[in-house]
Structure 1
């Protein structure tokens, strides 16, 4: 898709902020902003399976744009409606989303010999063609209103799902791989990383204007383990992506965010990488994060999503504290929650959060 066929951006606030430029107010978006908490999502989804919605460009684009319409003039970005588990699918694994249970892999990887089940040379453009079509369709329908974000899962996080077979509280099988099969672990992480780089690059070709890497299970690794099993592959992704984009003829700087949920000890290390933005969960004080980052990287976050269940007064107070902690939000900062929205959240409360970010950010 030629970038010239897309409409000019009317709101580039998040892109300027992600590049470290001064902005008139902090840009606002939230993780999982398109989804189950919005009544209109259920109307569009109907009885369709989750992955059917992801793979249908009309459904995916409609769901992606819903929060932009719902919070018209308040949201500063759209993020494509998809899932981090599409990479394991592209690698040959079956994945279902079970109602009230979540992700389910019928045939997980339990021993190193199971690596034979995976596709050796993944044709990313072929296997994830539907994802790229959804991004292009959505970018066209947005018509320049706000930038469109693409994303992928971090290698360690995807490895956990592929080995555990779904969500877990014990990480029994994934930790077994780390400490019993370290060589096979690195082999699997490398294969995931290689697919992730191409997947992100092709999302940009399709029309994504900013990207995020979700290392959602980072907090299950101690600092030493993060340095061995996560950080090297996260670095490979950003360096490999920059190189691949140039090979594809894309010379514009595409901002990329890394979100190491639960591993705020890694902020200092990630600030020394080529990531433009590090997203923070709610376990770190904004002022401490600003001190650690020391201008090396833009920060994103970090309101506890649970605060959305509070009163308007509490939400306003917490927003004010957060933005003040990040220095007022006029440079080096993007507003977000410390994780994604939840199905039970009141859309009006989330809207109040966003509006308050505008008010305090422009003060």
Structure 2
């Protein structure tokens, strides 16, 4: 874990330092669009076995780095590891996504939730982080991550994915105090979890607020941003003699980038619904920005992908602080060669 970092472009960009080009990585870069991933996934037998077997999690984390010239690795795991460690009975049903056998619906459910010890039921995540960091051997930085408290709460209360979020929003409006108790407990769990990832070797952190965009502006501040602020305040921000940058990403949250920047985070993920020039103006260049190619652009031709990459780079404009990424996770049925086109276009077109 002490190997010198050979490529620190990603960390330098998040610190808004000069870089020779724009660094690039991709959300869900280790995943189902890669045939080599599907092979290991089949070997594991099921998704959670893959996540909870450190050697296999390491293998799939490194697969995209072996194929593409990416500037960061991201831990292969799932945002629902914390609720699972709380005893909610996470399982995955074919065609339906994640489900919880024991959803959180009332005060008794909230009160009995433990704050998981990262060295106990989440030990497999920390072992994966340390294994990946060792195998990277300084090649690129390793990103650790968690879901935001609000996003985790949506799954915990709904019992799985949702289209209308009726149960968690019902709790928000009928018993906001109870939801705050759930969110506070979840935030404390995330802080412990992410700090343990840093101790295990993560060099940057990302908080995915996938469902923050379904809230009204006032409720976003109260039930999502408030708890991401709590996390940012509680995180370890230096390790191995370097700053550990923290990135927040709220899908469909472009209208809130300015108040997200107020948290003291180092970077903000931006989805494809907002122009990066507008995002820079809204945040007054106080934070780095990550994004924001529409993931569906990778269904286009190689020529069109290059055009779209240039549009994103031009929208950010000159200066430091840009990490190229998709505006959300890569789609399952994208041709891997098209991601390679995107990565090489970023590397070529962003040369300073």
Find the aligned partners of 2:95 and 2:22 in 1 and give their Cα distance: 35
* Structure 2 counterpart of 1:342: 331
Cα deviation digits, residues 248-286 of structure 1 (max 9, x gap) = x87631001000111111100011221000000111111
Determine if the alignment matches structure 1 residue 69 to structure 2 residue 66: yes
Find the aligned partners of 2:126 and 2:88 in 1 and give their Cα distance: 20
Determine if the alignment matches structure 1 residue 59 to structure 2 residue 56: yes
* Structure 1 counterpart of 2:26: 30
The equivalent position to 1:231 in structure 2, one of 218, 225, 229, is: 225
The equivalent position to 2:108 in structure 1, one of 82, 94, 113, is: 113
The offset of 1:297, in angstroms, is: 0.5
Find the aligned partners of 1:263 and 1:221 in 2 and give their Cα distance: 10
Gaps of 5+ in 1: none
* Structure 1 counterpart of 2:300: 310
* Structure 2 counterpart of 1:153: 147
Determine if the alignment matches structure 1 residue 288 to structure 2 residue 275: no
The equivalent position to 1:355 in structure 2, one of 319, 322, 344, is: 344
* Structure 2 counterpart of 1:279: 269
The offset of 1:117, in angstroms, is: 4.2
The equivalent position to 1:164 in structure 2, one of 158, 173, 185, is: 158
Aligned residues: 351
Mapped contact 1:112–1:181 kept (Cα < 8 A): no
Find the aligned partners of 2:231 and 2:26 in 1 and give their Cα distance: 23
Closer/same/farther in 2, CA of residues 144 and 232 from structure 1, 3 Å limit: same
Mapped contact 1:90–1:124 kept (Cα < 8 A): no
Closer/same/farther in 2, CA of residues 203 and 94 from structure 1, 3 Å limit: same
Determine if the alignment matches structure 1 residue 11 to structure 2 residue 1: no
Mapped contact 2:212–2:250 kept (Cα < 8 A): yes
Find the aligned partners of 1:332 and 1:122 in 2 and give their Cα distance: 35
* Structure 1 counterpart of 2:320: 331
Cα deviation digits, residues 168-187 of structure 1 (max 9, x gap) = 11111011011011000000
Find the aligned partners of 2:10 and 2:118 in 1 and give their Cα distance: 28
Find the aligned partners of 2:163 and 2:248 in 1 and give their Cα distance: 23
SS at match of 1:124: coil
The offset of 1:20, in angstroms, is: 0.9
Q: CA RMSD in A?
A: 1.4
Determine if the alignment matches structure 1 residue 50 to structure 2 residue 39: no
Find the aligned partners of 1:55 and 1:115 in 2 and give their Cα distance: 26
Gaps of 5+ in 2: none
Find the aligned partners of 1:274 and 1:214 in 2 and give their Cα distance: 16
Find the aligned partners of 1:200 and 1:262 in 2 and give their Cα distance: 24
The offset of 1:111, in angstroms, is: 2.6
Mapped contact 1:80–1:149 kept (Cα < 8 A): yes
The offset of 1:290, in angstroms, is: 1.2
Mapped contact 2:105–2:157 kept (Cα < 8 A): yes
TM-score, normalised relative to structure 2: 0.97
Find the aligned partners of 2:3 and 2:101 in 1 and give their Cα distance: 42
Closer/same/farther in 2, CA of residues 251 and 146 from structure 1, 3 Å limit: closer
Mapped contact 2:116–2:122 kept (Cα < 8 A): no
The equivalent position to 2:78 in structure 1, one of 83, 93, 100, is: 83
Determine if the alignment matches structure 1 residue 197 to structure 2 residue 187: no
SS at match of 2:235: helix
Find the aligned partners of 1:272 and 1:183 in 2 and give their Cα distance: 25
* Structure 1 counterpart of 2:124: 130
SS at match of 2:64: helix
